Structure 1
C-alpha cells in the first residue's frame, strides 16, 4: 500500500505534469471508485483546471479551480500512471482523466477511491488524521507528549493514522530498524532515550523514502527514474530470511495485528 513517501512522490511529480492544466475528458470504468453518479461527477469536473495537488497522510487532494477537491486514497494495490494513450499500462483502468493528449490512469482502485468533495467536506473526511510527521510543529517535545498517551505494541501505534498520519507497514518496519527498537515492544517499556531515537529515526527514514521515490516501483510516467528507488534501500521490509545489513543475522517476519512485521532479532531490542 502506498504510504507517505509514495504519495509525496506522486504529489511532486503530478504537480510538475498537470498543475495548471484543464481536465478535458473523464472515463469512469468502475462506478464504485467514485462517490457520485458518473454523469454528475463528469459534469462537475470536466473542463476544470487542476490548481495544485496536495497531500495529507496517505491521501492526495487535487484542488480544482471551483474550490472543490478530488480526494484520492489508493489503498492496497492502487497506483497511477501519466502518459499518452500509446503508453497506457496493460492493466485494468478504473478511472481515466484526460489532459489533452495525455491521460492520468488510476489503476487498482478495487479498494481505493477518487471522491469529489467541497473543501470543507474534504477537511471533515480527513479530520481524524494525526499530525504530519515531517512538519515543523511536530517537535520532539510534542512527539514525546503524544506518545506518552499511547499503549500497546510499537508497530500498532506507528501505523495508527490517528497517532501520526502516513506511516504503514513498510516505513514502520524501517523506522523501528533505524532506531534499533523491536516493533513488538510495548510502548510502556520504551524509555525516553529510545523514544527520542524513534522520533529522529521517523523523520530520517521518511525523508529518505521521499528522496528516493518511495518503495513501490511502478513508474509514474515513461522515463521515470525516481519512483521506487527506496525499494533497494529497505533494510528489513520484505527481506525475510535475508541477512541484516547491520549485524548479519537473518531478518524475521511476524504477524502483528494481522500485519506482516519485519525486523532483525539481533540488533533491535
Structure 2
C-alpha cells in the first residue's frame, strides 16, 4: 500500500497531480478556460514526472494501477495534441477526472517490484502493450464523444459545439487501427519470445485468453468496417467489447492477484 511502497517524492507528486487534475474535473464550467488549460497542463506534467520517478526509482514496480496510470496519461497526451488541431474537442473535465483517479489508484496500489532477473526486452514488450491500451483508450473516448454528438444532434443543439460526427468517426477508427497494430505486435512477441521475456513459453492463462479475445473483437470490427461498412451502434458495441476484454487481460488479472487475492510474484 501507499505508506510502505511509495517514496515521499512519489506521494508529494501524486497528491499535487491529483489536486491539479481536480481543477478541470470539478471547476471546468465555472473557471476561466485559460485556468482550466493551465491546470490540466500542470497535472499532465506532474503525472509524467510521477511515472518517470516510478521507472527510475530504486525498486521499479508495475501492476494494474500503474498500467491504468500510464494509459490515462497517454490518452491525455493524445487529447492535448488533438485539442490543438481541433479546438472544438470538449472532454477536459472527463479526462481530468480519469487522470486524477488513475494517479490516486497508482499511489494506493503501486504493484509488484520487477524481478531482478527480468529480461532487458521486457520493458519494450510492456511499452507496446501499454501503448495499445492508450490508443484503444483514445478510441473509446472518441466513441463517447460520438455518442454525445449524436445526442446533441437529436436534441437540435448547437451543431458547432463540437467536432462533426464524420470527423469523430474517422479519428476513432484511426486509433483503433493503430492500437490493433500494436496489440498484434505485442501478442506476436509474447508468443514467439515468451521464454526470453518471461522465462517460460506462451501459456494459455487468463491474460492470454482475454488478450486474444480482444484481438479477435478488434479484428472483427475492422473487417466489418472495411467489408460491410459497420458504423454507429454496432461498431461502438464491438469497440467497447474489445476494450473491455483488453482491460480484463492484464489490468483485470493483476487486480485479482493484487487486491482480491493478494500475493507476491512477478508481473
| Structure that is richer in strand per residue | 1
Q: For CA contacts below 8 A with separation 6 or more, give which structure has more relative contact order.
A: 2
Q: Identify whether the pair has TM-score above 0.5, normalized to the shorter chain.
A: no
- TM-score bracket, normalised by the shorter chain, equals under 0.3
| Structure that is richer in helix per residue | 2
- What TM-score do you get using the length of structure 1 for normalisation? 0.28
